[in-house]
Structure 1
Amino acid sequence: MVNRGFWVTVVMALALILGMAACSVDEPPGAESGEMNSENSDGESEGDTDGSSAGDGPFTIGISLPAADHGWMGALIANAEEEAKKHDNVEYILHTANDPNKQTSDIEDLMTKGVDAIVMLPIETAALTPVADTVAEQGIPLVVVDREVNTESYRTYVGGDNYGIGFGNGKYLVEGLTEKNGEPRGRVVEITGVPSSVTDLRSQGFRDYLENYPDIEIVASQPGDFTREAALKATENILQANPEIDAIYSQDDDMTIGIVQAIRDAQRQDEMFIVSSGE
């Protein structure tokens, strides 16, 4: 799998290029330079930059990401800020949010501030599709990262092969069940992420691989929302309702931490194994 930390460099570069193509050098929009500030996870960070030049400017890039309640998301935010600092004529406005309504409001705020391009990682695919269309209608280049939106209004999408990830996880799970039970059979649980293209594609790939193994049954599937806390609760509920489980498929390694805790709390470590997607 491509290292997602690499995506930030690609996304920032794309946003810079798209922003330069969309604005006039004679009348560049954007906020005045200022000291870098930061607020909490539902707040906003603004900063001017220093380092290598990305061309004429100044340019302002709006960045909208989910809050850093996940290890990879925290790294993504940090890397986005670091990449922006490499360009002395680029300013950025970073918004993070905990729910789709807040993220939609954040993106509307970026449009109001006249940014030259927007980089967005949607919290949820369907919920963020309308505002993506609005960005396009305003003529602002949009770069979508990781989770897609249900529209082609964005200029560029940067993401991994999530169907392939799920398909590969299905393969590993079948191999594990064959080793455990002597043949590809067993009772399987799936812990999914938030409603998004990432979740849908990983689940579809996983299930497509299992279609060839009729003796493998998915007995439960619940969302873990890509957080260890939600995954812990989902797994606890599933363990209580299912006295026999052979394996659990986790769509995310942060959720896997919560899954492991639930299994240990139930003292069922010897009964099942976990196959996990991760970075």
Structure 2
Amino acid sequence: MTQHSRDLSRRRLLFGGAAVGAATLLTACTSNETPAASTQTKAAGNSEGNNAPGKKVVIGFSAPAADHGWMGAIHANAKAQAAAYSDVEFKEVDGGSNSEAQRSTLGTLIAQKPDIIVVLPHDGKEVNAVALQAMQAGIPIVNLDRAFPDALASRLVIKGDNYGMGVSAGHYIGKMLKDKGVANPVIGEIAGLEIPLTVERSEGFKAALATYGFTVKNRRSAEFTSDSGQREASQLLQALPKIDAIWNHDDDQGIGVLAAIKQANRSEFFMVGGAGSKLAIDAIKADNTVLKATVTYNPSMASSAVSLARLIAQGRGLGDLTELQVPKEVTLASETITKENASSYDKLGF
């Protein structure tokens, strides 16, 4: 199956299963675990509390092009969550393939004066100025996933726990190696694009490994794509004739990583992935590759971003909180998927 086919199959799964995302964040916004789609749809149609219809609002949305399984899920989740509310008009603009294109389409969107905009930037630093422009024009920004460096550039930041992803991966690898009695393990790391969230992941990984007395022997930077994953994994395997464990930051990237491992006929190590794709979850359940676990970075955060954007635009807060306004920052927990619990995460796979 080609990468394109895999992405399409993931998107079909998303629309057929977990598309509506995390409407229940309105009552519990501390975890990235999302209930079944039927529960989510019912919640969005509930006539009580935060889900009760309110003032009609226009929510703008901008994210990079959906040329990656996780990013495709971000787009689909945001759109489906908006459709679950009768009081939301959803305006999505093309995020393009780079920050320059995204700045341009965001400028056009700002001129249309939506009530609020949800933005997942290509790069927070490069899109920061246009987010500030929106905020100064009285249009709140919900900053999704990749943070802007300026706190004034957003009303709300909602993201996965990148540092926590690294910590989860580090603890899984550290414990596994300790249990095997490996004293001086050779640990490889295949990171993603060198943007702030990737740095946070690596820092968390390093910190967790240090608690076991372990360090990363070789770190490679890929680009969150299958091709780049295969390229960097091939170089990592050539550099390290013996490996005990690898952490790959991204499961889409991991398709190429696993291809490189198979091509090199290497199997003396185990691997942990990142994000929680359906393909990764299935591979972990089948237990027929070196991939033994993945740490979640769930695209349901896009659903939550839309739900919270709606409340902000309507001047409402979260029903279970004493405070009258939606919090300034929401960080979703990173969980570890293994063979033992993989079936529980099937509906979350993108």
Q: What's the TM-score once normalised by structure 1's chain length?
A: 0.74
Structure 2 counterparts to residues 27-46 of structure 1, below 5 A:
none
Structure 2 counterparts to residues 129-208 of structure 1, below 5 A:
129-153=128-152, 154-180=154-180, 182-208=181-207
Work out the CA distance in 2 between the residues paired with 1:200 and 1:62.
29
Corresponding residue for 2:62?
Answer: 64
Deviation at 1:92, TM superposition (A): 2.0
Q: Which has the higher contact order (CA 8 A, sep 6+)?
A: 2
Corresponding residue for 1:83?
Answer: 81
Work out the CA distance in 1 between the residues paired with 2:23 and 2:219.
32
Q: Which of 220, 223, 233 is equivalent to 2:221?
A: 223
Q: Choose 1 or 2 for highest CA Rg.
A: 1
Q: Secondary structure at the match of 1:159?
A: strand
Q: Secondary structure at the match of 1:171?
A: helix
Corresponding residue for 2:271?
Answer: 274
Work out the CA distance in 1 between the residues paired with 2:24 and 2:130.
24
Contact 1:187 1:219 (8 Å CA) reproduced: yes
Question: Runs in 1 of length 4+ with deviation above 6 angstroms?
Answer: none
Deviation at 1:240, TM superposition (A): 2.3
Identity among equivalent positions (%) equals 35
Corresponding residue for 2:243?
Answer: 245
Contact 2:117 2:140 (8 Å CA) reproduced: yes
How many aligned residue pairs are there? 235
Work out the CA distance in 1 between the residues paired with 2:244 and 2:60.
46
Contact 1:193 1:251 (8 Å CA) reproduced: yes
Work out the CA distance in 1 between the residues paired with 2:104 and 2:177.
46
* 2:273 paired with 1:258: no
Structure 1 stretches lacking a partner, 5+ long? 12-51
Q: Secondary structure at the match of 1:183?
A: coil
Code of the residue aligned with 1:253 in structure 2: it is: D
* 2:3 paired with 1:6: no
Superimposed CA distance per residue, residues 62-116 of structure 1 (whole angstroms, 9 cap, x where no aligned partner): 1011222222321221122222223444322213332222222221221122222
Superimposed CA distance per residue, residues 29-75 of structure 1 (whole angstroms, 9 cap, x where no aligned partner): xxxxxxxxxxxxxxxxxxxxxxx984333x32210112222223212
Code of the residue aligned with 2:230 in structure 1: it is: L
Structure 2 stretches lacking a partner, 5+ long? 1-17, 27-46, 277-350
Superimposed CA distance per residue, residues 170-199 of structure 1 (whole angstroms, 9 cap, x where no aligned partner): 01111232345x234212211112233432
Contact 2:190 2:249 (8 Å CA) reproduced: yes
Q: Secondary structure at the match of 1:6?
A: coil
The alpha-carbon distance between structure 1 residues 128 and 81, as it changes in their structure 2 partners (threshold 3 A), is: same
The alpha-carbon distance between structure 1 residues 8 and 145, as it changes in their structure 2 partners (threshold 3 A), is: farther
Structure 2 counterparts to residues 117-136 of structure 1, below 5 A:
117-136=116-135
Q: Secondary structure at the match of 1:221?
A: strand
Corresponding residue for 1:112?
Answer: 111
